[in-house]
Amino acid sequence: MALTSKKLFRKFLIWRYKHISERQFVFILSILVGFLAGIGTVLLKNFTHYIRLLLELEFFKNYQNSLYFIFPIIGLILVYIIKQTWLKKHIGHGISSTLYAISKLGGIIPKYNIYAGLITAPLTAGFGGSVGLQGPAVSIGSALGSNAAQFFRMSQKTRMLLIGCAAAGAMASMFKAPIAAIIFAVEIFSLDIAFTSLIPLLLASVSAVVTSYFFLGTDNLLRFELTDKFQINDIGFYVILAIITGFASVYFSKVFFAITNFFKQFESRAKRLFIGGLAIGTLLYIIPALYGEGYGIMNNLLKGDHVAAIGRTPFNFDLSNIWMVIGLLLGIAVFKAIAMTTTFGAGGVGGVFIPTLIMGSALGNAFAKIINNIGLEFTVSESNFTLIGMTGLMAGVLHAPLTAIFLIAEITGGYELFVPLMIVSALSFSITKYYISNSIYTLKLAQRGELMTHDKDKNILMVLDIDKIIETNFIILKPHMTLGEILNDAVAKSSRNHFPVVNKNKEFIGVIRLDDIRHMMFNTDLYDKVDASSLMHGSKDVIIYEQNSMNEIMEKFKVSGVWNLPVIKNGKYHGYISKSKLLTAYRQQLINFT
């Protein structure tokens, strides 16, 4: 049966090569990938929804506040058990893991990523973990895109394009915003905006949106129709909000990295679960609005119902007092980042995208309420400022200003707020970029030199495999070897003109080039009098295998002016990289990219 299937598939591939061009087949695959990403996102949302429905049964309602403490811990324990006993693999943050697969793994994403997030993310968010589902949706879609490309034997470049198509599909299906989804894929995954890549992105995005409409109808996560028009007199307030959201984005990112590093010091996952579970349970008990993804906060604030947005707290705050409401909204904005990262630290699986929207909506709404109630006779639209606050946080935290603009424009059904959207997005992004060079998704990858950008030269260098460029067929010398031994055992037997010298621990201590001994090669009187230690000299630079990226290696060649550099791996000599071989590999990869 298996052999028959393989034969049929082989016949299909042969038929495809004969009758369907590469470009046409990519278009077909992009539609398929968009559909699969849409299905994955629908399943993710529905699983989470059904878990919430189960926890909202009448039996639980009388103990709701107390259960806000217990439910997230139960969800985290279930995720821990699944990871330890079934998956037995690390589940990284969806978008960061996908970016790493693109830059360093040639777009190869393991199959388990398809179902790992589909199970663990709904358990985390459904039981109240303060995370979003966009990251896992992108991870599931990207894994589907990668494996579809592998299944149909597509090239590395096509594989990466289909991953971008899947990411766009997940975004389009989640928010029913196909244009923003395409921009998201281009901004976050640094895809080239060319006609050949744009059409597949469009097809995938539309395919995913149609899939979402088919299964979920017209229901949308963010349900809002713009009614208040943009007022030119509000420009000054939008600028102030942009500055606030910019620094709030810096705060969000700093908190994320600080709490992440705090949990990294605990090697035991059980210990992380215990500490993080208690912390997130306490936070959600005190501020129930942080429970789960938090779409209710955004939708209720957009409708003007801040009482429903804040929800019932254990302290019975007076929500008729507008300043108490403002304080609680600011509290939600401040603690959302803490609750989200603590959920991750405890072992939960989820995304960053939605929490940024929650924080932005609370911040924008609180700012509008302050303006309207400060007593200076100013009146602004609270719903508009709620939307613009979301834009500012998205642009700053995610470093995706265009995605922020078009997502809000699409979900509101118009472009009435385009001017303030652009102002706040640009300023917030600029402020955050000044203090934090990369987004939450990309900072660690950028620090390791593993981040794809829109700089094609750097991207090509990044995807080069250093192991395929290192040459190890150099004859190694020992410092005690005489000139005669060097000539007989090395020079006579090698086509190379470089001879590395290593000590007894195989540590690189110098190099002898043919030019260094050419003038004495025929002076037999020196054969027993001169040894390698007196002839060798240091290299102008060395390449550290574990540390230096391809971009840094190219820079070393540029600065040193040499054509060969030794490679040190685990502190020992490993081989040489020649500039000519590196440039040859670069040219070949450039052909593949273009």
pLDDT digits (tens, 9 = 90+) for 531-541: 888 888 888 88
CA distance 14 to 543: 45
Does residue 174 register a pLDDT over 60?
yes
Structure tokens at 333: 């904005």
Query: What percent of the chain clears pLDDT 90, i.e. is strictly above it?
Result: 23
Contact criterion met (CB below 8 Å) for 309 and 366:
no
Model confidence at 450, pLDDT cuts 50, 70, 90, reads low
Q: Cβ-count burial of 379 within 10 angstroms (0-12 exposed, 13-18 middle, 19+ buried)?
A: exposed
Q: Which of 53-57, 256-260, 320-324, 450-454 has the lowest mean pLDDT?
A: 450-454
Listed in sequence order, the residues at least 6 apart from 173 whose beta carbon sits closer than 8 Å to its beta carbon are 37, 38, 41, 42, 137, 208, 209, 211, 212
Q: Determine the Cα angle at 248 with ends 299 and 255, to 5°.
A: 105
The residues near 367 (Cβ < 8 Å, ≥ 6 apart) are 237, 240, 241, 244, 385, 389
The pLDDT score that the predictor gives to residue 362 is 94
Residue 358 confidence (pLDDT)? 92
CA distance 97 to 355: 19
Cα(351)–Cα(398) distance, rounded to whole angstroms? 12
Identify the pLDDT of residue 235. Answer: 92
The domains located in the chain, with CATH, are 19-216 (1.10.3080.10), 232-453 (1.10.3080.10), 464-593 (3.10.580.10)
- Give yes or no for residue 592 having a pLDDT over 80: no
Reduce the secondary structure of 89-158 to three states and give it as a string. Answer: CCCCCHHHHHHHHHHHCCCCCCCHHHHHHHHHHHHHHHCCCCCECHHHHHHHHHHHHHHHHHHCCCCHHH
Query: Which helix H or strand E contains 483, and what residues bound it?
Result: helix 483-489
Q: What is the pLDDT of residues 86-128, one digit of tens each?
A: 877 777 677 777 777 777 777 788 888 888 888 999 999 988 8
Max mean pLDDT among 47-61, 90-104, 208-222 falls in 208-222
- Which one is predicted more confidently, 270 or 101? 270
Q: Two tokens at 278?
A: 């208690």
Average pLDDT of 62-82?
Answer: 79
Distances, alpha carbon 200 to alpha carbons 146, 279, 561, in Å: 15, 44, 43
Query: What is the helix (H) or strand (E) element at residue 381, kind and residue range?
Result: none
* 299-319 pLDDT, tens digit each: 888 888 888 888 777 777 777
- Which pLDDT belongs to residue 499? 87
Residue 505 is classified by DSSP as: T
What is the rounded distance in angstroms from the CA atom of residue 203 to the CA atom of residue 169? 9
CA-closest candidate to residue 122, choices 220, 215, 54, 44: 44
Rounded Cα gap, residues 583 and 288, in angstroms: 58
466 pLDDT above the threshold of 90: no
On whether the CB atoms of residues 189 and 96 are closer than 8 A, the answer is: no
User: How many Å is the Cα radius of gyration of the chain?
Assistant: 29
User: pLDDT band for position 58 (50/70/90)?
Assistant: low
Torsion of CA 43, 45, 51, 53, to 10 degrees: -120
pLDDT score of 62 more than 70 = no
